[in-house]
């Protein structure tokens, strides 16, 4: 495991590139548009999920498509793996809170943000009440694109995603990050958030999405 500033944790080859490619192939023809321009989504888990992907892997998720069903099984196993990795590292039980298969198309970017805080129109940084203890997890499934690096300005660290790489961190203000513009191709990854197991069953507060207003750089 590579550790940056004791905050950003990177595991290369968390899964094989072959497994990553199999997941991409399973859902490439079943992607949906999102409110965000140039962003597509596949299976997800959380409020009003399109697919009920999660540790229980309910049979209702399955479809009349062998490739999608294999993909759903792989995602279910990965949700369990990532939860265990984060629980073992932080020495506390964390469970999957939300999960989204995300595709950033050519021209897409994700502005500077914090996962556990948001920046409102009055210029105030506000803690997300139901996210304050969350851990963020990113599992990359592709690398045949250009651009799309994730940049952490406080650490002055740029990460080039590789298929099969898992990255996790606490979504606090000292781990602000952004995704640079995709200049060619599509970038596939799994975006997941984990919270302490005692929060199971709690509802999330409806707040403005963090991408609406970009955070300033530290000390700016």
The pLDDT value recorded for residue 189 is 96
Q: pLDDT tens track of the chain, all 220 residues?
A: 999 999 999 999 999 999 999 999 999 888 889 888 899 998 887 654 444 444 444 445 677 888 888 998 899 899 999 999 999 999 999 988 888 899 999 999 998 888 888 777 777 777 777 667 789 999 999 999 999 999 999 999 999 999 999 999 998 889 999 999 999 999 999 999 998 888 776 666 544 444 445 566 544 3
Q: From CA 217, how far away is CA 153, in angstroms rounded?
A: 7
Let me know if residue 197 belongs to a domain.
Answer: no
Let me know if residue 172 belongs to a domain.
Answer: yes
Let me know if residue 115 belongs to a domain.
Answer: yes
The pLDDT value recorded for residue 185 is 95
Strand order in the sheet with 110-113: 110-113, 177-179, 150-152, 157-159
Q: From CA 124, how far away is CA 173, in angstroms rounded?
A: 13
Total domains in the fold of the chain: 1
Q: Which long-range contacts (CB under 8 A, 24 or more apart) does 120-127 make?
A: 120/208, 120/213, 121/213, 125/173, 125/215, 126/207
**Domain boundaries, position 110:** 2-138+145-178+208-212
Let me know if residue 183 belongs to a domain.
Answer: no
Q: Closest Cα to residue 135, out of 82, 179, 188, 180? A: 82
For residue 56, what is the domain's CATH number?
A: 2.60.120
- Give the C-alpha distances (Å, rounded to integers) separating 79 from 50, 97, 191: 16, 10, 11
Let me know if residue 87 belongs to a domain.
Answer: yes
Let me know if residue 218 belongs to a domain.
Answer: no
Let me know if residue 150 belongs to a domain.
Answer: yes
The pLDDT value recorded for residue 53 is 46
Whether the predicted model's global pTM rises above the 0.75 cut:
yes
For CA atoms 67, 69, 70, 72, the dihedral sign is positive
Let me know if residue 217 belongs to a domain.
Answer: no
């Amino acid at each position: 495991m590579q550790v940056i500033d004791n905050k950003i944790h990177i595991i290369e080859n968390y899964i094989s590139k072959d497994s990553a490619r199999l997941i991409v192939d399973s859902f490439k023809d079943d992607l949906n548009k999102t409110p965000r321009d140039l962003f597509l989504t596949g299976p997800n888990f959380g409020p009003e999920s399109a697919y009920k992907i999660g540790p229980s892997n309910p049979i209702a998720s399955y479809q009349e498509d062998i490739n999608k069903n294999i993909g759903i099984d792989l995602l279910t196993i990965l949700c369990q793996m990532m939860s265990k990795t984060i629980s073992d590292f932080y020495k506390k039980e964390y469970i999957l809170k939300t999960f989204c298969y995300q595709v950033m198309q050519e021209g897409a970017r994700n502005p500077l943000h914090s996962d556990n805080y948001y920046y409102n129109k009055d210029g105030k940084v506000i803690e997300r009440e139901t996210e304050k203890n969350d851990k963020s997890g990113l599992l990359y499934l592709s690398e045949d694109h250009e651009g799309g690096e994730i940049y952490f300005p406080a650490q002055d660290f740029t990460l080039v995603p590789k298929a099969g790489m898992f990255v996790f961190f606490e979504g606090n203000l000292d781990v602000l990050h952004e995704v640079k513009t995709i200049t060619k191709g599509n970038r596939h990854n799994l975006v997941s958030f984990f919270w302490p197991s005692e929060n199971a069953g709690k509802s999330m507060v409806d707040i403005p999405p963090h991408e609406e207003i970009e955070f300033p750089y530290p000390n700016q």
